[in-house]
Amino acid sequence: MIRGVGTTAKGRSRAQACETAKAEVHSRAKLMCETIVANGGFRNAQWTVADRACDCKQTSPAVTVCTADLACSCVWEQKTVERIEICG
């Protein structure tokens, strides 16, 4: 699970705050998956983020905070070394 947060500050709507929160989750999932692949013999990172509704709460008369707690997964291939010995 990764949490993203968006607010209605600066005149944004609740829908825009929710989209900001979800975009943050997608960005973090991509970064985490690509970091795993970059740190060793792995390749072809693919990540998925499950979608669900945001939880929005009004924290003050002017600001609503929306959080998106979304499940993420990452899959990749592991590079292997193949050795062939030819005798003869």
Report CA-CA distances (Å) from 20 to 17, 27, 32, 69, 75: 5, 10, 18, 13, 25
Burial class of residue 82 in the structure, from the number of CB atoms within 10 Å of its CB (0-12 exposed, 13-18 middle, 19+ buried)? exposed
Residue 80 has pLDDT above 80, yes or no: no
pLDDT single digits (tens) 9-66: 989 999 999 999 999 999 999 999 988 888 777 888 899 999 999 999 999 988 999 9
Band (pLDDT 50/70/90 cuts) for residue 84 is: confident
31 by DSSP, 3-state: which?
Answer: helix
Residue 1 has pLDDT above 80, yes or no: yes
